[in-house]
């Protein structure tokens, strides 16, 4: 199998991206991409020799300094100064998995031939990606408009032999790595620094990373919720397709069918029930989980468009002989989508915690806190506290970033998206959801044990058997921190069908 992904004008999907990451594919510029990049660079070089008028960002200052014309002999220094001056990120380091996606998406955006960069510059970014040379980037510093300026400056510094990178698990000054590979620092040409720094690749990398996890954990929320339903001796009627066909939101219909499929052949679900109705956290799984699925689908569409777009400024159009300054770097579409997915994921955690609470409450024949000898043993009392704490934090993190804007650049950049803050929050929300669902699985699997000798479906029993190899049944009190961590590791290792990412 060819383990190479060719950068081209072909549509890059979320599934393509996941495949590139999972299979650790190498990148290579297609001939089409090379021609597009070179043609645009040649056009710009010719334009600079024949055009004396100021063109924003090419022979002028930046931001509110747009009216200051720069002489041709200083254009390279202008671009280098831009990269250095904008590298003022701070805070926690961006996870290396996300930095790698940033590299890929920046390469993709520059490959369309509307940015005016040197082919050598894009090829060096490809070299960084293929050799796992990952620039050190910081979470804080981007307003999500004018592009992700500070994070992308840190991404670009190693091209100049500046800044730091990770290589083979260690942090190096980038100059050491350039020497190791016998590479010369890139000499920036007109517009190049701006093309590298303008763009939405910080927000886009976070967003696509969160989306890939969200697709998986949306599925796992359905599965773990179904196991909780079995543990709680819940009813099947709320998942009847007739209910959902008269309110046919796509996510609702999909969720109800999935839960019904999970339960096929279960002895527990078909036994006679003593109660006529379940609490909302069980009965309304299709409606709540389904609404989050529909939100995820919307966010997928936004990011699919974004990762196949040119987001720097100004944009170069060779066919019409135009260089046009606009605002494709503005992160508003992403900011709104990232806030939306954070809320959708937070709700999956919120309803999960409620199911956990019901399971430990001593209802429906289950022992209090799901353990023998409650009193002597506290059992699963405190993991619910942990889930409640995390669910509450997710609610706080779901306060939208996109409704804020602070004027910058002396009033020239007077409305910004704050999409970068939305992006880093969304990552924390999905990581928190993972922990909440892990705690629910601990409780749900324990509750199902108390339904023996009745069996759940073949699929659920096989899933729980695999889980029990990592996390044994709790018979007496033990340190449950380790169980939570082992459950998280189990969920991370669990593979789901590829079509869920489409």
| Side-chain-facing half-sphere of 224: CA atoms under 13 Å | 35
For the domain with range 206-313+322-501, which CATH number is right: 1.20.200.10, 3.40.50.300, 1.20.1260.10, 3.10.180.10? Answer: 1.20.200.10
| Residue found under tokens 């409606």 | 287
pLDDT by residue for the chain (502 residues), tens only, comes to 579 999 999 999 999 999 999 999 999 999 999 999 999 999 998 888 877 777 776 777 666 565 666 666 777 888 899 999 999 999 999 999 999 999 999 999 999 999 999 999 999 999 999 999 999 999 999 999 988 999 999 999 999 999 999 999 999 999 999 999 999 999 999 899 999 999 999 999 999 999 999 999 999 999 999 999 999 999 999 999 999 999 999 999 999 999 999 999 999 999 999 999 999 999 999 999 999 999 999 999 999 999 999 999 999 999 999 999 999 999 999 999 999 999 999 999 999 999 999 999 999 999 999 998 888 899 999 999 999 999 999 999 999 999 999 998 878 888 999 999 999 999 999 999 999 999 999 999 999 999 999 999 999 999 999 999 999 999 999 999 999 999 999 999 999 876 666 6
pLDDT at 65: 63
Q: Are 414 and 363 in contact (CB under 8 A)?
A: no
Burial group, residue 405, by CB count within 10 angstroms (0-12, 13-18, 19+)? middle
pLDDT at 60: 73
Q: Tell me the C-alpha distance between 115 and 118, whole Å.
A: 9
Q: Tell me the C-alpha distance between 96 and 135, whole Å.
A: 8
Q: Tell me the C-alpha distance between 33 and 8, whole Å.
A: 6
- Percentages helix, strand, coil for the chain, rounded to the nearest 5? 60, 5, 35
Burial letters for 344-371: b for 16+ Cβ neighbours within 10 Å, e otherwise? Answer: bbbbbbbbbbbbbbbbbeeebebbbbbb
pLDDT at 375: 86
Instruction: Spell out the residues 6+ positions from residue 256 whose beta carbon is closer than 8 angstroms to its own.
Output: 238, 239, 240, 241, 243, 244, 286, 290
pLDDT at 373: 86
Q: Are 401 and 426 in contact (CB under 8 A)?
A: no
Q: What is the DSSP letter of 164?
A: E
pLDDT at 409: 83
pLDDT at 13: 94
pLDDT at 68: 66
**SS3 per-residue string spanning 228-279:** HHHHCCCCCHHHCHHHHHCCCCHHHHHHHHHHHHHCCCCHHHHCCCCCCCCC
Boundaries of every domain in the chain: 4-199, 206-313+322-501
> What's the count of helices (H) and strands (E) in the chain, helices before strands?
19, 9
Q: Are 15 and 38 in contact (CB under 8 A)?
A: no
Catalytic-residue membership of 245: no
Q: Tell me the C-alpha distance between 446 and 94, whole Å.
A: 37
pLDDT at 425: 98
| Active-site entry in 56, 66, 166, 357 | 56
Q: Are 187 and 76 in contact (CB under 8 A)?
A: yes
The model's pTM:
0.96
pLDDT at 434: 98
Q: How many CB atoms lie within 10 A of CB 318?
A: 16
CATH class of the region 4-199: mainly alpha
Q: Are 6 and 30 in contact (CB under 8 A)?
A: yes
- Terminal alpha carbon distance of the chain: 22
Do 206-313+322-501 and 4-199 fall under one CATH topology?
no
């Amino acid at each position: 199998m060819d383990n190479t992904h060719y950068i081209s004008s072909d549509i890059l999907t979320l599934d393509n991206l996941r495949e590139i990451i999972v299979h650790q594919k190498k990148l290579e510029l297609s001939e089409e991409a090379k021609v597009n990049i070179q043609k645009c660079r040649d056009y710009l070089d010719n334009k600079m020799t024949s055009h004396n008028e100021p063109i924003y960002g090419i022979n002028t200052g930046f931001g509110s300094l747009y009216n200051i014309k720069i002489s041709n002999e200083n254009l390279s220094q202008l671009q280098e100064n831009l990269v250095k001056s904008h590298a003022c990120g701070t805070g926690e380091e961006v996870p290396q998995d996300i930095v790698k996606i940033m590299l890929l998406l920046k390469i993709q955006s520059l490959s369309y031939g509307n940015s005016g960069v040197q082919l050598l510059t894009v090829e060096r970014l490809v070299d960084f990606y293929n050799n796992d040379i990952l620039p050190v980037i910081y979470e804080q510093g981007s307003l999500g408009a004018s592009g992700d300026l500070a994070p992308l400056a840190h991404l670009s510094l190693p091209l100049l032999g500046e800044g730091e990178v990770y290589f083979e698990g260690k942090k190096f000054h980038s100059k050491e790595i350039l020497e190791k590979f016998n590479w010369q620092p890139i000499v920036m040409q007109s517009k190049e620094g701006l093309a590298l720094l303008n763009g939405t690749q910080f927000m886009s990398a976070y967003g696509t990373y969160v989306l890939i996890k969200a697709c998986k954990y949306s599925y796992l929320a359905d599965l773990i919720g179904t196991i909780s339903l079995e543990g709680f001796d819940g009813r099947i009627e709320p998942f009847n397709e007739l209910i959902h066909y008269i309110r046919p939101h796509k996510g609702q219909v999909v969720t109800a069918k999935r839960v019904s499929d999970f339960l096929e052949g279960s002895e527990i679900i078909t036994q006679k029930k003593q109660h006529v109705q379940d609490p909302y956290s069980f009965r309304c799984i299709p409606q709540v989980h389904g609404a989050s699925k529909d939100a995820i689908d919307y966010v997928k569409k936004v990011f699919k468009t974004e990762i196949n777009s040119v987001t720097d400024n100004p944009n170069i159009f060779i066919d019409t002989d135009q260089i046009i300054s606009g605002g494709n770097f503005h992160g508003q579409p992403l900011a709104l989508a990232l806030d939306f997915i954070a809320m959708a994921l937070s709700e999956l955690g919120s309803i999960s915690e409620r199911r956990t609470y019901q399971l430990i409450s001593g209802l429906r024949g289950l022992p209090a806190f799901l353990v023998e000898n409650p009193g002597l043993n506290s059992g699963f009392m405190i993991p619910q506290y942990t889930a409640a704490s995390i669910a509450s934090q997710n609610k706080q993190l779901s306060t939208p970033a996109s409704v804020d804007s602070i004027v910058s650049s002396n009033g020239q950049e007077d409305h910004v998206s704050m999409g970068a803050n939305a992006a880093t929050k969304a990552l924390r929300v999905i990581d928190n959801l993972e922990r909440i669902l892990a705690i629910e699985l601990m409780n749900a699997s324990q509750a199902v044990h108390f339904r023996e000798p009745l069996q759940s479906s073949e699929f659920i029993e096989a899933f729980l058997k695999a889980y029990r190899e990592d996390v044994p049944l709790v018979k007496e009190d033990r340190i449950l921190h380790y169980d939570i961590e082992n459950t998280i590791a189990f969920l991370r290792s669990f593979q789901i069908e590829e079509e869920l990412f489409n």
